[in-house]
Amino acid sequence: MLESDMNRTSERAAAALDLLPEDMREPAVAYLIEQAEKFRVLQELVQEGLDDVAAGRVSEWKFGDFLREAQSIHKKAG
């Protein structure tokens, strides 16, 4: 994000907080922080998955093959 975009976004967020009653401001900020943390974790997990693909640690998952193998194991156990 460009610095000018960040400044504009920060100004808009501050203006929105000013519109809220005093007792709602802290919960609103806490909610934004929580959502930002969730987004950061999601980004890390997506990157981890992309890294796994790039390193060849991921193979195509064919549900039909998986189901047949699971049924076979179940029959052997039963």
Task: List pLDDT tens digits, range 44-78.
Answer: 999 999 999 999 999 888 999 999 999 999 888 87
Task: List pLDDT tens digits, range 4-48.
Answer: 898 999 999 999 999 999 999 999 999 999 999 999 999 999 999
Average of per-residue pLDDT values in the chain:
94
pLDDT at residue 61 in the model:
86
Q: Give the per-residue SS3 of the chain.
A: CCHHHHHHHHHHHHHHHHHCCHHHHHHHHHHHHHHHHHHHHHHHHHHHHHHHHHCCCCCCCCHHHHHHHHHHHHHHHC
